[in-house]
């Protein structure tokens, strides 16, 4: 769908790439290699939407000052295949973006 297979980077390479984009090491996070296995192992009858969302390659998550998730957007819900239109529904016209239900 237009995505290339991702490269596996070392911890040092991840830190270097983050610094290149102005992301300090303290604000950089790495997913454990068991993340996908954990998500896939969740009960689909209880977590069907969550499983689908958390396995998407492109996600935009916004948190408030207490760390609470306040806005969540994944590539499969923005429309515009094959060229994604992240603001197709106007959710990014304000900050933080509004959730579209």
- List pLDDT tens digits, range 13-71: 999 999 999 999 998 888 887 998 999 999 999 999 999 999 988 889 999 999 899 99
Residue 3: predicted pLDDT: 66
Dig out the tokens for 78 from the structure: 């923005």
Residue 68: predicted pLDDT: 93
Judge whether 68 and 50 are in contact, CB under 8 Å. Answer: no
Question: How many other C-beta atoms can be found within 10 angstroms of the C-beta atom of residue 32?
Answer: 8
Assign 63 to helix, strand or coil. strand
Asked whether the predicted pLDDT for residue 82 surpasses 90, the reply is: no
Provide the number of structural domains found in the chain. Answer: 2
Residue 2 is assigned to a structural domain of this protein:
no
Residue of 58, 92, 88 whose CA lies nearest to 74: 58
- Report the alpha-carbon distance of residue 46 to residue 24 in Å, rounded: 37
Residue 57: predicted pLDDT: 84
Residue 17 is assigned to a structural domain of this protein:
yes
Question: Does the predicted TM-score (pTM) go above 0.85?
Answer: no
Domain residues for the domain of 43 are 8-47
Tracing tokens 């992301």 back to the chain, one arrives at 23
The pLDDT of 84-101, averaged and rounded, is: 87
Is the domain of 17 the same as that of 39? yes
DSSP string, 27-78: G-----TTHHHHHHHS-HHHHHHHHHHHT-S-EEEEE-TTS-EEEEEEGGGS
Asked whether the predicted pLDDT for residue 5 surpasses 90, the reply is: no
Residue 2: predicted pLDDT: 62
Residue 95 is assigned to a structural domain of this protein:
yes
Residue 101: predicted pLDDT: 58
Residue 67 is assigned to a structural domain of this protein:
yes
């Amino acid at each position: 769908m237009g995505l290339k297979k991702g490269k596996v980077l070392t911890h040092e390479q991840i830190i270097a790439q983050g610094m290149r984009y102005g992301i300090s090491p303290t604000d950089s996070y790495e997913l454990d290699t068991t993340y996908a296995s954990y998500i896939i192992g969740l009960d689909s009858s209880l977590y069907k939407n969550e499983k689908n969302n958390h396995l998407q390659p492109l996600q935009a998550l916004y948190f408030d000052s207490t760390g609470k998730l306040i806005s969540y957007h994944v590539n499969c819900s923005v429309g515009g295949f094959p060229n994604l239109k992240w603001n197709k529904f106007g959710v990014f016209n304000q900050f933080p973006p509004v959730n579209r239900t």
